[in-house]
Amino acid sequence: MTGGTILILVAVFAVFLGLLAIRFHVGLSLMLAGLLGVVLMRSTGAAVSTAANQPYSTAADYSLTIIPLFILMGVFAVHARLAQAGFDLASRVLRRLPGGTALASLSGSGLFAAVTGSSVATVATMARVSTDAIVRAGHGLRLAAGVVCAGGTLGVLIPPSIVLVLYGVVTEENIGQLLLAGIGPGLLTILVYAVTIVLLVVLGDRRRAAREREREKVGAAAAGSAGTPAAPGGDPAPEAARDPAGNRPPPLDLVGFGFLVVIFAVSIGTIYLGVATATEAASFGAVSALVILLIRTRPPRWMRVVRDSVAEAVGMTAMTFLLMVGAGVFTYFLALSGASTAVVNAVLSADLNAYVVLVLCLLVLLPLGMFLDGISMILIAGPLLHPILVGYGFDGIWLGVLIVKVAEMALITPPVGMNAFVYSGAVPEAGLGRIFRGIVPFIIADFVVVAILILVPEITTFIPYLSSAQ
């Protein structure tokens, strides 16, 4: 690349970051910065032609049909109260475990994130409700912040995942296999998060008990010297005993949870069995979710609920496609400048160990969480990192899950994790310092998960390749 091209790249990235700094929409920021680059590299006419053609070429791609279908399926499921049914069941099953309320909130965040496909939207929606429940159970705001912010990242791997679908689109990997590959790492992440919560609660309870015993000793010594009995003390009441007397928990919606299982089986099970493509499975899932919504909605409200659901799904789809159009314009500029090819060739020609390159590429994603959400990161970084790492011989499906996982980690990584700021806006009394302290144990848990996925790739590849072998 020439010196002039490098200056243009610096100017375009500066404009992009400047637009983000003034809270401009990410998709529009990418589009405007990319168009500026095309003007500088070619001409105003070329930029006008790109602006005219890119929206159609993006939206007209048949493989993207899966995105509005999965979004519609998720919205129908939410309006049918299926995610709430799963959350209630998790609350009842887990309530007797240490940190049962926090575990249930983690499950609820994971379900909502899987349905919406957005980590940021999950944190904004679940922050207040989950925080109040966890604090009422006797745990602090620090644990609540960590659970909600980390729980929002679960949906990126649990099918149906919009982010995995987008990764498959921009890298041309098999979308069905990517969705199946997310199951094992998603379950592993849930398990590691759950162990983290239990350890935090148990250690926290022990510290509180030790402080209480110390206060009792001091009180007893003071009371003995004054000739008066010490005040009674003890550990905090167990979590289950803190519920107000006489308040029975609401009845479980087992039918709703059963319907949730049906939707998962229809949308993901058909891909696994090989009887449907990813797009066909998404359409089956959307239709089944619509039927379930109609079954669980009283007839007078049918039209209004379906209309509201479709309107919400259209809004979410439009937002996603705007991001894709903007990323398409920006990617075209990078290709026009030769930056993408230069970076790929430079890395491939370097005499570096493959796993060193893998770690460096994954670490590049973490600072992006300061500015972008998971979808935007994948749309920008996916086409760049994928050819580099595939060139080193790594499996494309395994890489997809790993890159998507780290991209979501970036949303909770200090000093500027987007989820933390969204949570701070919803729960201002928590404070950013306390929020990040609550997130740190879950970041450590995420690094453990990523290390396991690198050391044992079969966790990712077992299900998709078992499916393809049938």
Amino acid at residue number 25: H
CA distance 416 to 413: 7
- Give average pLDDT by consecutive 10-residue segment, the chain, 470 residues: 83 89 84 92 90 85 84 84 76 79 82 65 75 82 88 80 86 88 90 92 78 71 56 42 50 82 86 85 90 87 88 85 87 84 79 88 80 78 88 91 88 75 83 88 93 94 76
CA distance 427 to 124: 9
pLDDT of residue 261: 85
pLDDT of residue 162: 82
pLDDT of residue 401: 92
Share of the chain above pLDDT 70, in %: 89
- DSSP codes, 69-91: HHHHHHHHHHHTTHHHHHHHHHH
pLDDT of residue 240: 43
| Residue partners of 141: CB distance under 8 A and separation at least 6 | 131, 135, 427, 429, 430, 434, 438
For 178, other C-beta atoms within 10 Å of its C-beta total: 27
CA distance 3 to 470: 54
Give the closest residue to 1 by CA, choosing from 360, 349, 348, 345: 345
Interior CA angle at 361 toward 13 and 115, to 5°? 85
Does residue 361 come out as left (phi exceeding 0), alpha (psi in the -120 to 50 range) or beta?
alpha
pLDDT of residue 219: 66
pLDDT in tens, 299-339: 778 888 889 989 988 888 888 888 888 888 988 888 888 87
pLDDT of residue 224: 61
CA distance 362 to 368: 11
Residues found in the chain = 470
What is the value of pTM for the model shown? 0.79
Burial of 306 (0-12, 13-18, 19+ CB in 10 A): middle
Instruction: Report how far apart, in Å, the C-alpha atoms of 399 and of each of 6, 36, 267, 279, 428 are.
Output: 29, 32, 23, 22, 37
Domain boundaries, the chain: 11-51, 62-221+250-470
Give the closest residue to 410 by CA, choosing from 366, 462, 357: 366
Using the structure block, give the residue that is written with the tokens 């994928």.
386
